[in-house]
Structure 1
Amino acid sequence: MATIQSLEARKAIGREARERAKRSQHAMTGDTDRDPVALLQQNSTGRVEALVPLRYGRMSLSPFTFYRGSAILQAHDLAGTANTGIVFPICGDAHLMNFGGFATPERQLVFDLNDFDEVATGPWEWDVKRLAASFAVAGGHLAVGRGAIGDLVATAVLEYRNRMHEYSQYSTLELWHDIVTFERMIESAATEEGRRLVVKTMEKAAGRTNESMLEKMAVQTGGRWTIQDAPPALFHPAGPNSLLGKAEAWANTDAWQGKLNAAFDDYLGTLSSERRALLSEFELQDIAFKVVGVGSVGTFCLVMLMIDGHGKPLFLQVKEARESVVARYFPADGPAHQGQRVVAGQRLLQAASDAFLGWTTGPAKREFYFRKLRDMKVSAEVERMSNPVLQGYARFCGWALARAHAKAGGKAIEIASYLGNGERFAQALTDYAFAYADQNEKDYETFMRACRAGKIEARSDEDMAADFRV
């Protein structure tokens, strides 16, 4: 049995961490003496070769999309900074677009972190810095004034501080059961405009179900559903539009199907018995390759279409899990299987997780995790937000990140003690966010010069889609 430390001892740990990393030191950007293009190319190793140009194409759209796809750069840089020594599984990529709404298994709409590809044990402040810098980068992209950007960053960080103090008073079970619902967001919204947007988002989420996706993504022929190709974003691995290449051997042979069946059986073994019973009510109809996001482009990602006895669909996403950029620059113990790492981290950080979360090892020894595809999932449309609404969104992100950290680490008391009641940490992170936004701009310019010089190839979705038009 674990030995429980006294509250005073835990507060002392937080105060002592200020000696290891003074709060003012968090303004430092870290080790930025590196070649961003070389690091991105390293991070592309092992991805689908034909899709790497699409990854770079999506990153090339703006400094903000570049930031979203370059978590490896910030992890590298943060490794050169002082850290508090207070570590636990962190998100690893907590930028503002990796928060959003989704349905819990009980069909409750919640706001939380929703991307865990980079989850790993690391210093909690790395997540806060990733979030703070994302608001500075996005603010610049949206032509928000410098003063307003500073307010956005400070709002997110101060909300994180305030909520962490609040969570430091919670009992273990109170904290474990806390959840940021959309109803609570409406109650805490500071403006009427913000409240209306939350309500509108709830209405939008209600229509984003697996059933609504079925006829958009698939066609029924002879009583069987087939996913429609829409390359480069969606295609059959062994079909005429495949971008996987001959080396992946995605032929529809009995041997290959057998490997997929074995991988699915292994996945079932990571689920609880009632989840396995639930999935036994569905029959597999089709499997396709689906390109998602910015940072994930080129990794293996499949979508499985399954149908129950009433003809209703279930879409499962099967996503490749690679080494976390956090683990690369902050070595720590964790699951050896990368899919298990993602699942374990997501279950710890989220207030309520996908009922179908599990992991497996697929053909060619690639490691994967499973989750339900787009279940009432909604993301922020920051380009359409006014400054007051964007500030409200910053508050919600700070709140959700504090809740995730408090639950996953069980160290709300230590972090709250470290942060204190003043604004020293918030000021340091505001300075950091501006400095890192400048660094991101430099890295983006270096990246774009490499694209123009032909050192790396960047192609848009539209350009690649044209390859398949007759």
Structure 2
Amino acid sequence: MKASTIAEREARGRAAREHSKRSSHRAVGELRRDPIELLKESSAGRVENLVPLRYGRMAVSPFTFFRGSAILQAHDLSKVHDSGLSIPICGDGHLMNFGGFATPERQLIFDLNDFDEVSVGPFEWDLKRLTASFVVAARHMRLSRGTAESLVMTAVNSYRDRMAQYAQRGALELWYDRITFDHMAETALTPERRRAVRRAMERAASRTHESLLEKMASHDGDRWTINDAPPALFHVLGATTLFTPEESEAFRKGNVDKMVEHMWADYRKTMSHDRRELLDHFTMQDIVFKVVGVGSVGTRCLVALLVDHMNKPLFLQLKEARPSVIARFHKSPAVKHEGERVVYGQRMLQAASDIFLGWATGPLGRHFYARQLRDMKLSANIELFDSDLLDGYAGLCGWIMARAHAKASGQAIEISSYIGRGEQFAEALTGYAMSYADQVEQDYDVFMKACRAGKLEARTDEDMAADFRV
């Protein structure tokens, strides 16, 4: 098949403006939906006793509510015209889903780090999720309207400029491109900020499996056991389990050890030969349930502790992969295994992925994916950011998203041509983000009224932890 010329691909990008003008992305659309019903739908099938904790974490602020309600924005985005430029997207690229972690070569890079909602969708859906998150966060931090608008302009123009650069690169150049902390410090930060980044890198370097072992587990002279810390960590059949008696009985009847054994064998099959050999150096010590994040609360997430012959630990997280909210509201390719979808999406969008990434079918036919629990990981604490640092972070997020989209799609030329060189697209997304932040606040008010009226039960971590204190 004859390959398209660069000129033809640029023309395709510009032609997409006829389908959806850049100025049209300002629209939020006429939203007639009940946010409570959509949230209940997204809670269906989760661990019943953890759904109140999910709502409790979402109730903290409009920003935590936004983080936990990806289903609402996916629904809302499907009600307005899109660009027609569909590519692999993160699906939940809000500002807290970026972070630092170590590559297999032990180099610290900054990248997207959550792919539960990864799917094929319009490229701008990721940008709309990102920009709305900056406005909702800015309001939470009581920053001015002008500051919020500036953050969106910074993020989108950074995406535009980087995408234009990636449109000039070859396929291998894109594949090998990594945004290391060193590169980030040299190109995007002032001298003062570089010092802060260096300190962060030092902290990240200390976040290893060995440091985690000392905090999370105990040794009885024979084997390691992960300590229960409900509601965050508990053994499925232990005294502090948050599973209902019916759920616990299903695991008891099915023999948990046998279930884990089958799941482990399934996971190993998805790994390359050398990674399987490496994994076989470790023996299983213990496995517990872990409550994670905001939007993921109530989904099944297991943490396995393994050790090698030198008693050096490896913590693996086996997380339930549910259908993507993007796929629900945008026609995407059929998926055979949700865990495989997450792993493939992560490998495509990230510059370098965890060597232990894999997937498996778990108890009762649920889909899971596996990765290391924590390996030199670092996330931004935006509560401590001033407006100057937040602006730098917005530019960094735009850069990372452009790199991810360019690598995963091979459509940097088309996307760059669609956006153009001016600020029309950024101005439209600024209007969108400001309006959508209003919608988030309205939905949050409806949500809080439902909690107060008892239509939804919301409990804090402290409330639930108190249930286990003697």
In structure 2, what residue type is equivalent to 1:386?
D
Aligned to 1:131: 130
Within 5 Å, which residues of 2 pair with 1:96-111? 96-111=95-110
* Aligned equivalents of 1:3, 1:360: Cα separation in 2: 39
Q: CA deviation at 1:253?
A: 6.4
* Aligned equivalents of 2:80, 2:364: Cα separation in 1: 37
1:282-335 superposed Cα distances (whole Å, 9 cap, x missing partner): 000000000000000000000000000011000000000001000000021143
Aligned to 1:392: 392
Aligned to 2:90: 91
Aligned to 1:278: 278
Q: CA deviation at 1:433?
A: 0.7
* Aligned equivalents of 1:247, 1:257: Cα separation in 2: 18
Q: Does 1:64 align with 2:63?
A: yes
Q: Which moved more, 1:181-190 or 1:193-202?
A: 193-202
Whether the 8 Å contact between 1:30 and 1:79 is mirrored in structure 2 is no
In structure 1, what residue type is equivalent to 2:378?
V
Given the two structures, how large is their TM-score scaled by the length of structure 2? 0.98
* Aligned equivalents of 2:282, 2:335: Cα separation in 1: 30
Q: Which moved more, 1:325-334 or 1:266-275?
A: 325-334
SS at match of 1:215: helix
Q: CA deviation at 1:200?
A: 1.6
* Aligned equivalents of 1:7, 1:127: Cα separation in 2: 25
* Aligned equivalents of 1:389, 1:308: Cα separation in 2: 42
Within 5 Å, which residues of 2 pair with 1:24-423? 24-248=23-247, 249=249, 251=251, 255-423=255-423
SS at match of 2:311: coil
Q: Does 1:457 align with 2:467?
A: no
Q: CA deviation at 1:188?
A: 1.7
Q: Which moved more, 1:327-336 or 1:265-274?
A: 327-336
In structure 2, what residue type is equivalent to 1:390?
L
CA spacing shift, 1:213–1:316, aligned 2, 3 Å: same
In structure 2, what residue type is equivalent to 1:302?
L
* Aligned equivalents of 1:168, 1:9: Cα separation in 2: 13
1:327-346 superposed Cα distances (whole Å, 9 cap, x missing partner): 00002114321000000100
Whether the 8 Å contact between 1:48 and 1:244 is mirrored in structure 2 is yes
1:178-222 superposed Cα distances (whole Å, 9 cap, x missing partner): 000000110123423322221121111011111100010000002
Q: CA deviation at 1:261?
A: 0.6
Q: Which moved more, 1:175-184 or 1:191-200?
A: 191-200
* Aligned equivalents of 1:309, 1:267: Cα separation in 2: 22
Q: CA deviation at 1:251?
A: 4.6
In structure 2, what residue type is equivalent to 1:364?
L
In structure 2, what residue type is equivalent to 1:228?
N
CA spacing shift, 1:123–1:254, aligned 2, 3 Å: closer
CA spacing shift, 1:20–1:390, aligned 2, 3 Å: same
* Aligned equivalents of 1:8, 1:295: Cα separation in 2: 43
* Aligned equivalents of 1:162, 1:469: Cα separation in 2: 54
* Aligned equivalents of 1:167, 1:31: Cα separation in 2: 35
Q: CA deviation at 1:31?
A: 4.4
In structure 2, what residue type is equivalent to 1:215?
E
* Aligned equivalents of 1:56, 1:105: Cα separation in 2: 36
SS at match of 1:343: helix
CA spacing shift, 1:103–1:3, aligned 2, 3 Å: farther
In structure 2, what residue type is equivalent to 1:350?
Q
Whether the 8 Å contact between 1:91 and 1:120 is mirrored in structure 2 is yes
SS at match of 2:134: helix
In structure 1, what residue type is equivalent to 2:274?
E
Aligned to 2:430: 430
In structure 2, what residue type is equivalent to 1:342?
V
1:227-250 superposed Cα distances (whole Å, 9 cap, x missing partner): 000000100011010111233336
In structure 2, what residue type is equivalent to 1:149?
A
CA spacing shift, 1:253–1:212, aligned 2, 3 Å: farther
In structure 2, what residue type is equivalent to 1:428?
A
Q: CA deviation at 1:256?
A: 3.2
SS at match of 1:396: helix
Q: Which runs of 5+ in 1 are unaligned?
A: none
CA spacing shift, 1:3–1:340, aligned 2, 3 Å: farther
CA spacing shift, 1:258–1:31, aligned 2, 3 Å: farther
CA RMSD, 1 decimal: 1.1
SS at match of 2:341: helix
Whether the 8 Å contact between 1:193 and 1:389 is mirrored in structure 2 is no
In structure 1, what residue type is equivalent to 2:92?
D
* Aligned equivalents of 1:140, 1:116: Cα separation in 2: 26
Q: Percent identity?
A: 60
SS at match of 1:405: helix
Aligned to 2:443: 443
1:39-82 superposed Cα distances (whole Å, 9 cap, x missing partner): 00000000000000000000000000000000000000000111
* Aligned equivalents of 1:231, 1:190: Cα separation in 2: 41
CA spacing shift, 1:194–1:223, aligned 2, 3 Å: same
Q: CA deviation at 1:3?
A: 4.3
* Aligned equivalents of 2:119, 2:242: Cα separation in 1: 31
Whether the 8 Å contact between 1:189 and 1:195 is mirrored in structure 2 is no
Q: CA deviation at 1:263?
A: 1.2
SS at match of 1:4: coil
In structure 2, what residue type is equivalent to 1:438?
D
Whether the 8 Å contact between 1:156 and 1:397 is mirrored in structure 2 is yes
* Aligned equivalents of 2:30, 2:87: Cα separation in 1: 23
* Aligned equivalents of 1:4, 1:264: Cα separation in 2: 43
* Aligned equivalents of 1:27, 1:252: Cα separation in 2: 53
Alignment coverage as a number of residue pairs? 469
